[in-house]
Chains A and B, each alone.
Chain A
């Protein structure tokens, strides 16, 4: 379930060359979650050998909004400006299954009992799939934090893991939220900034061009993949056909009746395989693209921050020149300039590391998921073939 992050995090650590023992020192997972209406309550379970925690093992209940709070505090922490901040998990979206449930309720009268039961089963499976996905994506977020040498030490992160009371008190109040909003607005202005900035460093120039283009392409690919996997609804049709065949069989003379029933059975089995084909494709391909769209955005954010630091540095230079001309506040201006330069250099240095490991992480994740998806598609197709061929044999011999 944590396939996307586990390997990629190991890769990340390898390339960041941190002590690998940290691996076992902080292990986080989400063993279960409760769904009430729209609210999902995650149980965050931590096992740690770190002394900074009060207990070696503990669990706390958390809501989606708590994850968002944690993400935003990390984003706003100045020290982390040079890191790619793991993207926040998206809000649990049960819209799809809910819509289906609605349709099912409406269409109940026009379906046979078997059809209805089948569709209900399907619906429950879909609900479960969405549920699993949202758990996974929240888990991955935490695990990326825990495996990062800096983030794992973050005070708010520890509070998130440990604090056994409701976090909502600590969460953004209205003023802070507005502050965050404002920050987001500024960020989009940075998009213009980032493309406008004169880049001296070859590495960052390349990265900038790559990320800007890639983020557009991957966003588009994600959207198209979502559309494709959503329209893989063949399974539904097989369900209806199977039901209709059974009805027809009920009325027919015996020889043909068995034939039709066998046919209905084939479609029923095919439905299950098609279902799994579609959901595997969704999980391995679409989810992968979704996740990396968000991650690319996080990498871009890093570039923004660096570009802003560069702009600040350039401004401080101009201020220093002005001060020298006027002969006033020169020392202050010099200090300012020194600090800006320091900040910029720090960002550049850690930024380079982060972006390099990001690429490695991405390539590994794509490879893994593409291989897994392909193997699953082959497996399902082979299942279909043997199922169909078996049935054809039986039908021919009848």
Chain B
């Protein structure tokens, strides 16, 4: 039995290999029963593969797997639980309908912070551990306040689980932060310099934003993997995250897009909303990238200005020392001090530029990739539905032929198959409608959040600029009497 996430009526899947396997997006599980469990029934302890599984999770994915074949290897070790908890789409989605969502919004009371990065181990095997603190009054959590220690690959593991569970249903799953080989290597090697400190801070901040975004999603907040991540003191190490990265997962999931494009089936879009929205997101993608590039340039130039101001400050101090007119000498030294303070100001502002705006824009560029992925999932669902219809037609034709040939035993089988495919067609249609509905809701939520996020951030950023200018005024006003005192 293929426990593929995408198949809902799994026991009956006998002949055809799950499409996902073909397209390379599949997490296979050994245990058949797990296939049809709904999310509720999965206990938190069912997550997490064993540490020592060396196999690349996706290496198996591209194999043709015959369901009865003995060489179908378990991707995961014989644990009590599959790595991925498969979810039947039909059962999940009604849970989070609009009323629930509104309710969630009103009672959204959860604070998450990622802090205290600590280096564990030495050399190339070293890694950073972060403290994740959750403060909440929500009842799904077992305590008001929980602290756990997590490493970067744990976050990636969480994302991979969530993506595999929810993306095909049209949920926009926030992507995890990017891996960085260069950045991490510096940290591992033990360079205590400014750039590795900055790197760790950048990552810490990104991880925090990631978690906050994830729990803001009403369905994800209740997800057992998320709960386990936030609460459980021991988290089995996510396997094969060497090969996994946020972008990597997205790419794999979005391979569907390539498959769809390669298929010459052009989707008959009956719903103009989707076409419009897709175009909008394409445009938004381009615009945000451009804006992001401009802000990155701003950050860079401000840093440069800070460095040059510091260098000038030193030179002015030297000049002040050399000056033989006492009052002027004093004033020049004061000028040097002011410039030094200003250079620090520039540097602080550049951090604000970066963390407030630049990183946010980067997050949104990645989120939009996730959104586009979700639209592609819908096209896949549509294609699947169409495929089923085609298949049904064929089965009907086959039956008709058999009727003429008068082979009663084969006829029975044909009739059975027709019923089977009728069911699939119905399921395909339902799935398609469900994912369309989900996407509409998700996109609506995404737009609201986006607007809110940007509004808040823009105001925060402008306030940071105000603060900088006010400091400037302070420094120069303190210097003015010194300049006037030159006599």
- Interface residues of chain A, those whose CB is within 8 Å of chain B, are 206, 210, 213-214, 217-218, 220-221, 223-225, 227-228, 231-234, 236-238, 240-241, 243-245, 247-248, 251, 253, 255-256, 259, 263, 266, 270, 359, 362-363, 366-367, 370-371, 374-375, 377-378, 381-382, 384-385, 388-389, 391-392, 395-396
Contact = CB atoms under 8 A, between A and B. Distances in A.
Contacts of B283: 251
Interface stretch (B116-124, B388-396, B402-410, B470-478): B470-478
Given A221-B319, A245-B291, A395-B455, A384 B465 contact: yes
Contacts of A374: 476, 479-480, 483
Nearest to B324: A210
B484 interface: yes
B311 A241 contact: no
Contacts of A225: 312, 315
Given A228-B309, A248-B288, A378 B315 contact: no
B305 A240 contact: no
A274 to B, nearest CB: 10
Contacts of B469: 381-382, 384-385, 388
A221 to B, nearest CB: 4
B76 interface: no
B480 A375 contact: yes
Contacts of B367: none
A69 B194 CA distance: 53
A251 B458 contact: no
Interface size bucket, B side? 35 or more
A106 to B, nearest CB: 17
Contact of A247 (B280, B290, B335, B473): B290
B319 A218 contact: yes
Contacts of A233: 301, 305
Contacts of A362: 325, 328
Interface of B: 280, 283-284, 287-288, 290-291, 294-295, 297-298, 301-302, 304-305, 308-309, 311-312, 314-316, 318-319, 321-325, 327-328, 331-332, 335, 447, 451, 454-455, 458-459, 462-463, 465-466, 469-470, 472-473, 476-477, 479-480, 483-484, 486
A389 B312 contact: no
Nearest to B477: A378
Contacts of B316: 221, 224
Contacts of A266: 462
Nearest to B291: A244
6 nearest CB pairs, A to B:
A237-B298, A367-B486, A224-B312, A244-B291, A240-B294, A370-B483
Nearest to A215: B322
Given A225-B312, A248-B291, A234 B319 contact: no
B322 A214 contact: yes
B459 A241 contact: no
Contacts of B309: 228
Given A224-B312, A237-B301, 6 more contacts: A221-B319, A228-B309, A244-B290, A363-B327, A367-B483, A367-B486
Nearest to B279: A251
A266 B466 CA distance: 12
Contacts of B305: 228, 231-234
Contacts of B463: 388, 392
A388 B465 contact: yes
Nearest to B458: A263
A180 B428 CA distance: 93
A227 B308 contact: yes
Contacts of B291: 241, 244-245, 248
B329 to A, nearest CB: 10
B294 A227 contact: no
B458 A259 contact: yes
B284 A240 contact: no
Nearest to B465: A388
A259 B459 CA distance: 11
Contacts of A359: 324-325
A241 B480 contact: no
9 contacts: A224-B308, A224-B314, A232-B305, A247-B287, A263-B458, A370-B483, A381-B469, A382-B473, A388-B462
A241 B473 contact: no
A8 B335 CA distance: 21
Contact of A220 (B315, B324, B331): B315
Contacts of B483: 367, 370-371, 374
Contacts of B477: 378
Contact of B328 (A213, A236, A367, A392): A367
A72 to B, nearest CB: 29
A213 B486 CA distance: 21
Contacts of B472: 377, 381
A228 B466 contact: no
A306 to B, nearest CB: 19
B315 A221 contact: yes
Query: Taking each of B288, B332, B469, which has the highest tally of chain A beta carbons within 10 Å of its own beta carbon?
Result: B469
Contact of B451 (A223, A251, A256): A256
Given A234-B301, A237-B297, A392-B466, A227 B311 contact: yes
Contact of B298 (A206, A213, A238): A238
